Amino acid sequence: MITALAFSTIEAIDRCAWNDCFADGPQDWDYYRCVEQAGITDFQWRYLALYEDDVLIAAAVAFITAYSLDTRAQGLGRRICQQLRQWWPGLFEVRTYVLGAPLTHGSQVATAPSIDPSRRPALLDQLLSLARSDADHAGIGLLAVKDASDRDPQWLQTCREAGLQSLPERPDAELSVAFGSVDAYLGSLDNTTRRDLRRLLRGQGPRVEWRRSVEDVLPRMMALYETSLAQRKQSAQRLPPAWFQQLFEHLDSRVVCVLYWVGDELVAFNLVMLDKQRLVDKLFAHDQSRTVDQHWPLRRWLVNVSYCIEHRIAIYASGKATDANTRHLGCSLTGNTLFFRHRNPALDTLLRVVKVLIRADRSAPVMAAAISETR
């Protein structure tokens, strides 16, 4: 007999059992506990678990938040949403139950390795039903599934069969690092990309420092982070200093900060997580007004790829692709889908109209190019 339970803290679930389910990558039980302890505002964490004879056989991470439906709108759709906001403040603010987690890469649902693969679709369906039940208990009508990956067709199929609507999201970009040197990597690229990267290597750039402790520079990092948030066109969840402190205090060697210096001034930083197989790019911040000529996307790329080659890390997970040109750097793209459904049929129908305004691939050409690579 299967028992389905939802918890408000990951401490209610056995650490080893959770990590057995989510064995891929450095974002494990300890990571979620750190994020939970950081006290990020406007989030309520939920952890879903299926037990059979008191043994954890499937799990998922979720959260509750007030979500702005127009967050992903671009171009004309964004201008329309801004006008509607003036007429009706709060129109797009909806309390939402989300399967998945912010600032997290990789699987959002998982089954124990001991489970027969033939049972997985039924367990995924039970996790989705548990999420709907948990949302109903909290009085939340809108259920969403973020970053459902093309790598998990069973999860995609489960969401579709449940009648959830879908929107394409930006794909994930990964580089398979099977090169003995940076020169060997550059040799695998097209002439134009190789020339641009070699020019960066020859030029004088900022000094790069890899750090596992950032207490002395955390105030400057937070200033850069706040500046980057202000310069973004889209809203993003604001992370408190405690989020950074928790990661460095409790995740040991799995968290590294790449600092970029010009003279004695810290001008940018890149937070990454890693294990023996994968380097995950988590967060990058800099002041565009101070470093406008630093070619940050390519410079950051070269630094991280070089680190992977030197330390024989097999995969560089660089995050969400911004455009199809990521292919020129040797990346593979994996498609993602956002699923959602409101329990109120009338509001669910309204969301079918709203999603036309918030489809980034219809109003932003570079986003459309990136998404089209995986469709």
* Claim to verify: residue 59 and residue 117 sit in the same structural domain: yes
Please give the pLDDT value at position 79: 60
Please give the pLDDT value at position 364: 47
* Claim to verify: residue 128 and residue 265 sit in the same structural domain: no
- pLDDT 10s digits, 207-263: 999 999 999 999 999 999 998 887 765 556 688 899 999 999 988 788 999 999 988
Please give the pLDDT value at position 102: 73
Alpha-carbon span 10 to 30, nearest angstrom = 9
Contact 105, 319 (CB under 8 A): yes
Residues of the chain with pLDDT under 50: 363-371, 373-374
Q: Is residue 327 part of a domain?
A: no
Q: How many structural domains does the chain have?
A: 2
* Claim to verify: residue 107 and residue 231 sit in the same structural domain: no
Please give the pLDDT value at position 360: 55
* Claim to verify: residue 268 and residue 217 sit in the same structural domain: yes
- pLDDT 10s digits, 279-291: 999 999 988 776 6
pTM of the model: 0.85
* Claim to verify: residue 31 and residue 132 sit in the same structural domain: yes
Q: Is residue 250 part of a domain?
A: yes
Please give the pLDDT value at position 43: 83
For 2-24, the DSSP string reads EEEEEESSGGGS-HHHHHHHS-S
Please give the pLDDT value at position 92: 57
Please give the pLDDT value at position 223: 93
- Three-class SS of residue 67? strand
Residue 122 belongs to domain with CATH number = 3.40.630.30
* Claim to verify: residue 63 and residue 136 sit in the same structural domain: yes
Give the containing element (helix H, strand E) for 228: helix 218-231
Residues with Cβ within 8 Å of 313's Cβ and at least 6 positions away in sequence, in order, are 177, 274, 276, 277, 278, 279, 307
Write the secondary structure of 313-352 as one string of H (helix), E (strand) and C (coil): CCEEEEEECCCHHHHHHCCEEEEEEEEEEECCHHHHHHHH
Q: Identify residue 170 by its one-letter amino acid code.
A: R
- Domain that residue 218 falls in: 178-313
Alpha-carbon span 132 to 6, nearest angstrom = 11
Give the containing element (helix H, strand E) for 61: strand 55-68
